[in-house]
Structure 1
Amino acid sequence: MSSTAPSPALPEKLAEIVDDFQAVEERDRLLLLLEFSRELADLPPAYGKHPELLEQVVECQTPLFLKVDVADDGARVDLHFSAPPEAPTTRGFASVLQQGLAGATAAEVLAVPDDTPDMLGLTRAVTPLRMRGMGAMLMRIKRQIAEQLGPGTAS
């Protein structure tokens, strides 16, 4: 891990992940993303039994659904994703966000820069459409947080 975070607005875990991507050669970044795809946590049983509680990210090329849980005081955010195993790029992006933002506060997640997907250095390894899908995941996460926290929440 490098001694400086890539952006002061990134929560520590996400900053470490971005550092990890930036530390490997560009040709190896896609392999790292595939490793993350295998680490995507399963949906909690409550969401698995009630898929209507998840929101589809239609900008993703594959069916990806997400749900954000925010503690009442905004002190903790948990992310849940559903993506098919045959979509490793999409699952990898979801896993990066899930692992990088797990346990962060709502304010920390809302402050994450919208260009964070670009910080992974994958823009030449994956299509622009897939990069937009990851950006859309982040935007939906922020919107769900703002909705759960109520009026006056910056997004």
Structure 2
Amino acid sequence: MQNVDPTLPLRLQEIVDLFQNLPEEEKRELLIAYSDRSSECAPKEGETYTLSDVRKDQECTDSVGVFLKADSENRLLFRMSLGAHVQTLTKAMASILCQGLAGSTAEEVMAVPSSFVPKIVGTELVRQRSQTVYYILARMKSACRQLVAERRRAECVGSTS
């Protein structure tokens, strides 16, 4: 691995490394491949989620759903539902982040800096799509903050009982 960023979960760091070693045209092709696989990140029938947040924000062209599942060790699994009009780059970031953040804790996800994004998408796409490329990470961090807040409330209620 090159330029290891201690704030990135290992799986995400591996994806960043892959992109950093590619010329711009190949980065775009790989982004399209990740976008094409975004349906693999969709919620699975029969799965239950600790937290669900589906909405349409002005930063995105269609609705995006963030589904979060925490296991007994507080390791997370993200699923994403993406409306039909969600842009290719947003789909790619959803796919990358679902894969790269799988198995992380909420605290690890909240600590991920947005500075890794240009390493994946390249500076030109960041300039063209500045809001879009950071949107999915912001939604995932928001879900983690909500999860942590709910846990703290539950702990407070449990300790006063």
Shorter-chain-normalised TM-score: which range? 0.7 to 0.9
1:17 equivalenced with 2:15 (yes/no): yes
Q: Is the 8 A contact 1:57 1:66 kept in 2?
A: no
Letter in 2 for 1:147: Q
Instruction: Tell me how far 1:4 sits from its aligned partner.
Output: 4.5
Q: Is the 8 A contact 1:18 1:120 kept in 2?
A: yes
Letter in 1 for 2:148: L
Task: Compute the RMSD of aligned alpha carbons.
Answer: 2.8
Alpha-carbon separation, structure 1, partners of 2:116 and 2:23 = 19
Alpha-carbon separation, structure 1, partners of 2:88 and 2:99 = 16
1:146 equivalenced with 2:148 (yes/no): no
1:53 to 1:151, Cα distance in 2 relative to 1, 3 A: closer
Instruction: Tell me how far 1:66 sits from its aligned partner.
Output: 2.5
1:37-116 paired onto structure 2 within 5 Å:
37-40=35-38, 41=40, 42-45=42-45, 53-60=53-60, 62-71=61-70, 75-83=74-82, 84=84, 87-116=87-116
Question: What CA deviation, in whole Å up to 9, does each residue of 1:86-142 have, x standing for no partner?
Answer: 732221111111111112111111110122212214221x26353322212211211
Taking structure 2 as the reference length, what is the TM-score of the superposition?
A: 0.75
Q: Identical aligned pairs, as a percentage?
A: 29
1:127 to 1:135, Cα distance in 2 relative to 1, 3 A: closer
138-147 or 63-72: bigger deviation: 63-72
Taking structure 1 as the reference length, what is the TM-score of the superposition?
A: 0.78
Bigger-Rg structure (1/2): 2
Letter in 2 for 1:28: E
